[in-house]
Amino acid sequence: MQVDQLGPKGRGDDPLYLASRALLTAKEKLHDYPVVRLRSHLELGDPNAEVVISWPIKEPLRDFYAARTMDDIREL
């Protein structure tokens, strides 16, 4: 869908490509400036909000896979 709307992915002018590093970074490690920049890129490159909807799901999954014990998993 993104390719249909914006052309080939991975170019310097592709907003989602520019946001990809921030999208892969743990949320607690993002600072104010990258979050503002991330929102800007998502507004431009994610018109149907697919990434905006799925990005918050990534964080609990990351925590789940990082859990070392069953107690940690139960806590999540």
Q: How many domains does the chain have?
A: 1
Domain that residue 18 falls in: 2-75
Nearest to 16 by CA among 1, 32, 27: 1
Q: What pLDDT digit, counting tens, does each position of 4-60 carry?
A: 655 666 667 788 888 888 888 888 888 877 888 889 999 998 989 999 999 889 988
* Of 53 and 76, more confident: 53
HSE at residue 61, side-chain half, CA atoms within 13 A, is: 6
Residue 57 has a pLDDT of 92
Residue 56 has a pLDDT of 87
The rounded distance, in Å, linking the Cα atoms of 23 and 43 is: 14
Which amino acid does the sequence have at 33? Y
Residues in the chain: 76
For residue 1, pLDDT beyond 80: no
The rounded distance, in Å, linking the Cα atoms of 8 and 2 is: 8
